[in-house]
């Protein structure tokens, strides 16, 4: 392919960095990385570039992090529009369902630049979720939708997206986890350093607005975590920490082992040796199926039903169902053993390679290849 830096990768949050890292590396000198700063906290985003062996972004937008959703998107679109007008990349790549994803796809479309959407076709069918609106907007704009699963591809087709604009690639989370997961001896040391024992604790994260911005839901969740009979390690997101202080709930954390946000390898090390996971994160719904760990999903709905249908996760709302669901996992050793051999529904660890090939073809003006999955469910962590 002629030319350099002709693929612009737009991202703004920690999950986007994690899931796009493999693609960015495979694109090598053909890409530039644009960081919107949606997650302005250094602990949540910037240091992840180093963690994933990525260069610092070629362009950082200004005034996006910490703003309202509308301001984030409009400000990012304005800056991206100016940049794309000046540089004219041949392709813009976005990932997932964030404000950065929506802004990147809109700015590219307004500049008549093709858009490739990584992790396309996820649907919760809940329009109260900002992410659902972002996903749907980008699907309409994207020239190529890289769907992780057949269900995701069907969602897109049912919305009238042409099959020529859809490729089933698997989810890049599989190879991202494979790369970040420390060797077993290292991860066991992490567990010991936290004063814990293998298979002897529960790992929890809570950060979604539906759980943290509602005082009663947040109180119920913290009370439920305190009732779990095993030690609970709680990786506390900045949003959650702010709400705990604002609501005067510090006392509800006394029986919980609180930790500042963990880097990805540390979190995965702990997740690997936890008995059960509790979270409202979308990414952890995918990662649990690779780690072969049971997960209690604390959400009103999910855009990743594959984790529920494959038996790795159960969905509950705030209240007694959290501790009850954890206890059921703790007591059902047969279920835990069955998960050890259950296939991951999100791919085989080759999604980044497939998507990079599609991106390079599109940037070269060629028809993007269809994907050959081979042994799709072959991956399990070493």
In degrees and rounded to multiples of 5, residue 372 shows phi and psi of -105, 110
Give which of 8, 69, 20 is closest to 48, Cα–Cα: 20
Q: How far is Cα 109 from Cα 115, in angstroms, rounded to an integer?
A: 7
How many Cα atoms occupy the beta-carbon half-sphere of 223 within 13 Å?
10
Instruction: Please indicate whether residue 39 is annotated as part of the active site.
Output: no
Residues 6+ away with beta carbon under 8 Å from 139: 117, 120, 121, 145, 156, 159, 161
The alpha carbon torsion through 137, 141, 144, 150 (nearest 10 deg) reads 30
Any bridge partners for residue 167, and if so which?
146
Residue from 117, 207, 237, 264 carrying the catalytic annotation: 207
Q: How far is Cα 85 from Cα 111, in angstroms, rounded to an integer?
A: 7
Q: State the CB neighbour count (10 A cutoff) for residue 137.
A: 18
Reduced to 3 states (helix: H, G, I; strand: E, B; else coil), residue 60 is strand
Catalytic residue positions?
A: 207
């Amino acid at each position: 392919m002629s030319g350099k830096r002709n693929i612009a990768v737009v991202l703004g949050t920690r999950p986007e960095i994690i899931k796009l890292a493999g693609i960015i590396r495979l694109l090598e000198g053909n890409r530039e990385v644009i960081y919107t700063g949606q997650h302005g906290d250094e602990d949540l985003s910037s240091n992840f570039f180093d963690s994933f062996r990525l260069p610092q972004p070629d362009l950082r937008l200004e005034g996006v992090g910490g703003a309202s959703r509308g301001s984030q998107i409009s400000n990012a679109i304005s800056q991206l529009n100016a940049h794309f007008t000046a540089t004219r990349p041949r392709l813009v790549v976005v990932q997932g369902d964030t404000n950065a994803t929506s802004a990147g796809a809109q700015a590219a479309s307004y500049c008549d630049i093709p858009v490739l959407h990584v992790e396309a076709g996820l649907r919760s069918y809940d329009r109260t979720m900002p992410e659902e609106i972002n996903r749907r907007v980008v699907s309409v704009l994207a020239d190529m939708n890289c769907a992780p699963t057949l269900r995701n591809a069907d969602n897109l087709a049912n919305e009238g997206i042409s099959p020529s604009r859809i490729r089933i690639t698997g989810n890049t989370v599989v190879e991202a986890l494979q790369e970040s997961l420390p060797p077993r001896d290292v991860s066991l040391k992490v567990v010991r350093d936290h004063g814990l024992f293998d298979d002897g604790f529960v790992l929890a994260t809570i950060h979604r607005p539906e759980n943290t911005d509602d005082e009663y839901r947040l109180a119920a969740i913290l009370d439920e975590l305190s009732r779990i009979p095993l030690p609970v390690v709680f990786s506390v997101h900045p949003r959650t920490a702010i709400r705990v202080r604002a609501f005067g709930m510090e006392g509800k954390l006394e029986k919980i082992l609180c930790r500042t946000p963990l880097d990805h390898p540390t979190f995965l090390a702990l997740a690997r040796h936890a008995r059960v996971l509790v979270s409202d994160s979308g990414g952890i719904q995918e990662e649990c199926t690779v780690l072969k760990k049971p997960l209690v999903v604390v959400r009103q709905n999910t855009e990743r039903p594959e984790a529920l249908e494959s038996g790795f996760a159960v969905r509950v709302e705030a209240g007694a169902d959290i501790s009850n669901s954890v206890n059921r996992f703790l007591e059902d050793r047969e279920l835990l053993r069955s998960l050890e051999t259950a296939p991951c529904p999100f791919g085989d660890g080759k999604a980044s390679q497939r998507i990079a090939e599609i991106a390079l073809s599109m940037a070269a003006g060629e028809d993007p290849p269809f994907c050959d999955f081979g042994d799709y469910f072959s991956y399990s962590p070493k």
